[in-house]
Structure formats: structure tokens, C-alpha cells
Amino acid sequence: MNNNNVIFRVFPGGTLHGVARVPGDKSISHRSIMLGSIAEGVTHITGFLEAEDCLSTMNAFRAMGVQIEGPEQGVVTVHGVGMHGLKAPNEPLYLGNSGTSMRLLSGLLAGQSFDAVLTGDSSLSRRPMKRVTDPLRQMGAVIKTSPNGTAPIRIRGSGPLEAIHYDMPIASAQVKSCLLLAGLYADGETGVTEPAPTRDHTERMLAGFGYPVKQVGNRITVCPGGKLVAADIDVPSDISSAAFFMVGAAIAENADLTLLHVGVNPTRTGVIDILRLMGANIEILNEQMVGGEPVADLRIRSSRLKGVQIPENLVPLAIDEFPVLFVAAACAVGETRLSGAAELRVKESDRIQVMADGLQSLGVHAIATPDGMVIQPRPIKGGKVDSHGDHRIAMSFAIASLRASGPIYINDCANVNTSFPTFVNLAKGLGLNIMVCTE
């Protein structure tokens, strides 16, 4: 699926039935490599997501002198070099399509003693980076971007940074994590205040590696002078990947699906809350804590969904899942409205406009707004849609076929490999009528 002209052909009449485990959490996989690399000792990772985005992070740290074994069936071994053991890379660090890699690495590298350049593919090179480079400059980082604030990012080794307390204008786990990682190399207490809760994997994992993190209300702080001690990490299944099958089982006829060992961190469960508001039949089973992260099995059965006004407080907790939630809304009874989600316009694609265009081409009344969408359900027809190289768009329209009256052809699907390389095979095994072809 590395061909740019990969097409999904998805036919109606499928359902989702059975028991499955989706691949490991992408956010946690990224952070396990980053923190394992600057820890002291050997970190053992199981459940690692073997997708292009996470491999980009892994290759970047290999280029900075870290010995990493694997991945082999989700098992990775990282030989940490300590807080100050990274070495200057011999060439620019290419991060593919991974915004997480670029933004978090910007913070981690801003306090190193060597120079580095971060680059990415054409999609990543259009994504906004000022949200991390501006506060990093406030910390004294010597950092340059393109004239419009995008990659490549050039970071000059400048030694210790200046601690700041930063009030984030927009809720963003990537910005928060970037500044906390930079704060490990600052000269005092670095604090980040977030306007709404965002995923807290960085804070949890820093604590798991023995590095003190303090949180009071919505302010998270770190101080320099600590160290990270190697740990064993069991990466749970990614709720963002599970979301496609959660929606699919809710909208399909005669569906009964159980997804195993899914991460249910409360900063990530907005998709469950929203689907339940819409009337989805979702059971949370076998809840437990694994390595500081809550996990559970999720059972989802066919449901009669209803349209809702999506609460804005849930938006940051489901920001990556909205493409497939738009599909759920298209299959509901009554109007669904989303606002407060302007962040969707600066993802791998403009997810508001691209989803609205695709839904309209399939007969759904979907109106894009500056910060969201209004969806009035209509029967989903077959047709052709363009994913614009966005993995979540491609998989969302594949799920829409479960309620379509004709085949759906989805163009430009190669980037599904960035987060979910086993999507097609897993979907087929559970009952989705999907084929892959190339032009």
C-alpha cells in the first residue's frame, strides 16, 4: 500500500461481528520510543504500533545514536542513552507524515547541544508549527521554520532553555507535550496551562519513568535535574483506531463486536461519550490498569442512533475521531451539530471540508462551518470520494459502506499505513466487504 494511487473499493451489505484487537496506541508508541531513548537503562515495549508514523520516530532516534531492536510483532527494545546522551544526526531527520513526531521532537531537541533539522512529506510540510516554535522561542530556543511557519524546522543547539509558564490558547496535547519535554532541559520550573483537558500520555509516561510531574488543576509543571529510569511498557490498543469499528458496529445491521485491550484513558474517551449520547450500545468490560494506563474491552452492538448537539467540552477528547463520528451522524435520526472544532481544519487534511465534500457526494446533507459541521441524515448512496491522502478520512468512508446502497470508491488511501497498516485485513475478517486496488 505504498502506491500513491491506492484505492479502496467497499461494497454494501457487510456487517461487523466477532472479537478483535486493533493495533497499539499511536500516541503511546511515539512517547515510549522518545522517553525510552533518553532514559537510563533498557526499556522493553510490547504492543508497539508498527505503522509509518511511529517508525519515523524510531528512525529519528536511531539517527541520533540510540540502539533500538525491533519492532518484531510489536516488541521493541530501546537502549537508553540518558538525558544528555543523544548525538547530532548526520542528516535531516525525516518524519514522514507524523505531526506528533515533529512537534514533540521540536521540544526535546530544543534543549540539546547539537543542531538538528526536522523535515516531513508534503502533507506534514503544510501543517502549522508556529504553535510549538513560538513558545519554544520564548524559552530561548534558536529555531527557524519556513516563512509561513511550517517545516522544515531548523533547531540550533543552544544549551539550557529558560523556564516559562505558558497559557495555551488552544487545547493541544502535542503543544503541551512539546513544552514539557523542553522543560526537562530548562533552568527552572516549566508550566503549561491548558484551556481544556487533552490526552495526558506524556505526563503519565514521564511519571512511569520516574520523572516528577506536578499537576494542579489545569496546570502541569516539570523541573530540570531529574532523570528517567528505563521501564517496561505495554501499549494498549489505540482507541482512535478502535473508533472506526465502534462506529461500524453501531451503524451496521446485526453487528456484535468486541474489541480487546483498548486504551480508555479518560482524556481519550470522548468518542465513547459522544456515541453513547447518540444512543450507541457500548459496554465497557474487564477494566484494569496496565502500566499506568486504563484499558478495557469494548462490546458494541447495532444501535438506532439519534442526532445530537455535540458538547464542546468533549471536542478535545475526540478530536481525531470526528471523521468517523461524522459517518455515525450521517446514519442517525435527526440533525447533528458540531462546533468548537476548528483544529480539524489543520490536520493531515482539512477534515471538516473534506468530510463534508465526501458526505455530500454520497447524498448526505452535510454543511461545513468554520469550526464544525451540521449533518442532516439522508440515505447514503454509492459513489466516489477522495481521502486527500488522509488516513482517517479513507477509513471513515470505508465504514460508511455499511449503510450505503452502492459501492464506495475511495481514492488516495496509501496513508492508511501511517496509523493502521492492518486495517483492510482486519476489516475483512470482521465482515466488511472491502478490496484494495491501484490505478
Residues 106, 171 share a domain: yes
Residues 76, 62 share a domain: yes
54-to-32, 100, 395, 418, 419 alpha-carbon distances in Å: 10, 9, 19, 8, 8
By the 8 A CB rule, do 276 and 310 touch? no
pLDDT in tens, 23-67: 999 999 999 999 999 999 999 999 999 999 999 999 999 999 999
Domain end marker among 195, 212, 234: 234
User: How high is the pLDDT of residue 439?
Assistant: 76
Residues with catalytic annotation? 320
Residue 310 to residue 383: CA distance in whole angstroms? 28
The answer to whether position 290 is within a domain reads yes
Residues 248, 187 share a domain: no
User: How high is the pLDDT of residue 236?
Assistant: 97
pLDDT in tens, 275-309: 999 999 999 999 999 988 999 999 999 999 999 99
Residues 40, 17 share a domain: no
User: How high is the pLDDT of residue 4?
Assistant: 60
User: How high is the pLDDT of residue 292?
Assistant: 86
Residues 250, 150 share a domain: no
41 membership: H or E segment, kind and range: strand 40-46
Residues 225, 289 share a domain: no
The residue type found at 45 is I
The answer to whether position 1 is within a domain reads no
User: How high is the pLDDT of residue 276?
Assistant: 98
Residues 261, 216 share a domain: no
pLDDT cut 90: percent of the chain above it: 97
Handedness of CA 351, 367, 338, 246 (dihedral sign): negative
By the 8 A CB rule, do 86 and 38 touch? yes
pLDDT cut 70: percent of the chain above it: 99
Q: Which domain holds residue 263?
A: 6-24+236-438
pLDDT in tens, 99-142: 999 999 999 999 999 999 999 999 999 999 999 999 999 999 99
Residues 434, 345 share a domain: yes
Average pLDDT over residues 380-390: 96
179-to-8, 36, 118, 266, 391 alpha-carbon distances in Å: 39, 18, 17, 22, 27
Confidence label for 2 from pLDDT (cuts 50, 70 and 90): very low
The residue type found at 70 is G
Handedness of CA 317, 131, 219, 206 (dihedral sign): positive
Count of the separate structural domains present in the chain: 2
Q: What's the half-sphere exposure (Cβ side, CA atoms, 13 Å) at 163? A: 13
pTM value surpassing 0.85 = yes
From 229, 236, 321, 233, select the one nearest 274 (Cα to Cα): 321
The answer to whether position 31 is within a domain reads yes
The CATH number that applies at residue 146 is 3.65.10.10
